[in-house]
Structure 1
Amino acid sequence: MEHLMDQGKFLRAKQNYDVARTVIVGVPMDFTVSFRPGTRMGPRKIREVSYGLEDYSIYADDSLNDKEYFDAGDVDIPFGNVEKSLEIIEQVTVKLLDNNKIPVFLGGEHLISYPIIKQVAKKYEDLVVVHFDAHADLRDTFFGERLSHATVLRRVCEHIRDKHLYQFGIRSGIKEEFNFAKEHTHMNPINVKKPFMETLEELKQKPVYVTLDIDVVDPAFAPGTGTPEPGGCSSQDILDVVSSFKDLNIVGFDLVEVSPASDLSERTSLLAAKILREVLIAIC
């Protein structure tokens, strides 16, 4: 595929793009990160540590062995050019959707979700976006910029129906973001597992796109992220949540903000790889 470069494969990714139901794409971009840079290395590290995982998941009592998924490598983006990079990400997404693939993107910063969801929403007009994050990401601008990892879900709201954004684990933001959420989203502050499980039935039968910022997890479990926010959920809680995705119609997924340089133990990347394994088992 155009605009993609091989950066190794995730776990036991198959070699045949044509028969794959799900396609993994990395996006090594951290141009608008506002605190600690380094998420551009996330996709490569998640793939690298995945070789320490088993194909079998005790959570799902299932294995990746018979799942057809393809790892297309990383998007080749122009360093420092935000708008052109977003345009290329959008083009890759269109190609995947035209080929009837379920896109699974690895960040990279959270802004990468915007061009992806923008295109997925065109295919599924009743799309629901489920957002796991420590931060609301609902600012209209951040330091005067409309395109930022701090504004990404505000931009997403411009392309989906009102109240079609469900947010979990939010524990940081400015007052204006929470005011916006009261009017336009379903925000569940602080907690993750309990409110998500209570919402699960409501989300069934709808096309769902999931965007998961690793900082939704407490930095005690996942310190390798650009803007760590104490007080999040445990790694066990997020794995329980992701394991329930099998009950949903997931039409796209991204996992963002893993910053390997901030975690020499690699436990953040390992958690991300394990989350991705559970997602693939659930949706392939």
Structure 2
Amino acid sequence: MYLYTDNPLKFAFSKTEFDSSSLTDEPGFGIMGVPFDSTTTYQPGARYGPLFIREASYNFEKYNLFLNKRLNANVYDVGNLEAIPGNFQKTCLNLKSVTSSMLDDGMIPLTIGGEHSISYGVINALNIQDATVLHFDAHMDLRDKYMGEKYSHATVMRRIHDKKPLKIIQMGIRSSSQEETEFALENGINYYTPQKIKNDLSQIKKIIHQIEGPIYVTVDMDVLDPAYAPSVGTPTPCGISPQELESLIFCLEGKEVIGFDVVEVSSTSIGDITSINAAKVLLDFLFLQ
């Protein structure tokens, strides 16, 4: 049983009904929207991300030219979480409950946000050990507190790191406090800047190819340069391109991905390039299945 708000718009390529008995040996993927942006500190609007990502998904084909593959994944859209505006703790509890229900039904959670703090709730439900968190972002999000808050879009990876022994690999990082950089270096958190990705893409792809065991993927859309994703909570210049992000997502083929989220989309209109690129990130992953 899912806790969700009324949301007539579904992800374009999801099945209309979910029946756990219909799942085969192939993995099923459950898409859940989380319209929550209460800890946003610069550009609000991520609560509308699930709506406009779903809308943007109708712009795409069920065939991927570069992979020469049709979309064959079992995809179900369970609607939007009942997020509690201004209350991270209650929203996180709802998120953990719904994610747990999806896992019980044999679905791998694909979460669309919403601000980045929601990743913590999903990973809490997964209760994963000895896994790798592959984190695409302009920011490290490793602060212990931000503006006095321990649970925030700017502290989410620090809170996830508290759930040791998770390994964290960060891609696209170009903004950090001194505290965060020192914490990353002291705790074996490897991060790769856009310059590193652009100058040695083949080596960065090799890093992802070499990840062993379960992987949780979190994509903050501000990993892209604002030229490609202006409608995000904290836009930061000099990011990676959609082509580079696509290449890195394709490296997940054959990997054991146990969860995937796309967050920080603050689009407020149909056709916004940020939501279009966000929908493509999800589809790129689903085409690998």
Q: Compute the TM-score of the two structures, normalised by the length of structure 1.
A: 0.93
1:273 offset after TM fit, Å?
A: 0.8
Partner of 1:129: 133
Q: How do 1:150-229 and structure 2 match up within 5 A?
A: 150-161=154-165, 164-184=167-187, 185-190=189-194, 191-192=196-197, 194=201, 195-204=203-212, 206-229=213-236
Q: Amino acid of the residue matched to residue 15 of structure 2?
A: K
Q: 1:180 to 1:171 in 2, by over 3 A?
A: same
What secondary structure is seen at the aligned counterpart in 2 of 1:170?
coil
Structure 2 gaps, min length 5: none
Mean CA deviation greater in 12-21 or 176-185: 12-21
Alpha-carbon separation, structure 1, partners of 2:143 and 2:235: 18
1:202 offset after TM fit, Å?
A: 2.2
- Matched residues, number: 277
Choose which of 94, 97, 108 in structure 2 pairs with 1:91: 97
Q: 1:93 to 1:158 in 2, by over 3 A?
A: same
Partner of 2:14: 13
Partner of 2:283: 277
Alpha-carbon separation, structure 2, partners of 1:78 and 1:41: 14
Q: Amino acid of the residue matched to residue 210 of structure 2?
A: E
CA contact (8 A) 1:132 1:216 kept: yes
CA contact (8 A) 1:23 1:103 kept: yes
Choose which of 106, 112, 118 in structure 2 pairs with 1:100: 106
Alpha-carbon separation, structure 2, partners of 1:140 and 1:67: 38
After superposition, the C-alpha distances for 1:143-200 in whole angstroms (9 at most, x for unaligned) are 11000000000000011316x0011111001001000111221222334462530212
The answer to whether 1:138 aligns with 2:146 is no
CA contact (8 A) 1:129 1:165 kept: yes
Alpha-carbon separation, structure 2, partners of 1:276 and 1:81: 27
1:119 offset after TM fit, Å?
A: 2.2
Alpha-carbon separation, structure 2, partners of 1:125 and 1:54: 36
Alpha-carbon separation, structure 2, partners of 1:137 and 1:248: 25
Alpha-carbon separation, structure 2, partners of 1:200 and 1:40: 30
CA contact (8 A) 1:3 1:77 kept: no
Partner of 1:62: 69
Partner of 2:36: 29
CA contact (8 A) 2:209 2:251 kept: no
1:265 offset after TM fit, Å?
A: 5.2
What secondary structure is seen at the aligned counterpart in 2 of 1:247?
coil
Structure 1 gaps, min length 5: none
What secondary structure is seen at the aligned counterpart in 2 of 1:246?
coil
1:114 offset after TM fit, Å?
A: 0.4
Alpha-carbon separation, structure 1, partners of 2:65 and 2:193: 29
Aligned-CA RMSD value? 1.6
Alpha-carbon separation, structure 1, partners of 2:250 and 2:39: 31
1:201 offset after TM fit, Å?
A: 3.1
Q: Amino acid of the residue matched to residue 199 of structure 1?
A: I
Q: Amino acid of the residue matched to residue 171 of structure 2?
A: F
After superposition, the C-alpha distances for 1:234-266 in whole angstroms (9 at most, x for unaligned) are 1111112112221321110000001103x7751
CA contact (8 A) 1:127 1:209 kept: yes
Alpha-carbon separation, structure 2, partners of 1:6 and 1:241: 34
CA contact (8 A) 2:170 2:191 kept: yes
CA contact (8 A) 1:60 1:243 kept: no
Mean CA deviation greater in 248-257 or 51-60: 51-60
Partner of 1:251: 258
What secondary structure is seen at the aligned counterpart in 1 of 2:288?
helix
Q: Amino acid of the residue matched to residue 116 of structure 1?
A: V
CA contact (8 A) 2:133 2:218 kept: yes
Identity %: 39
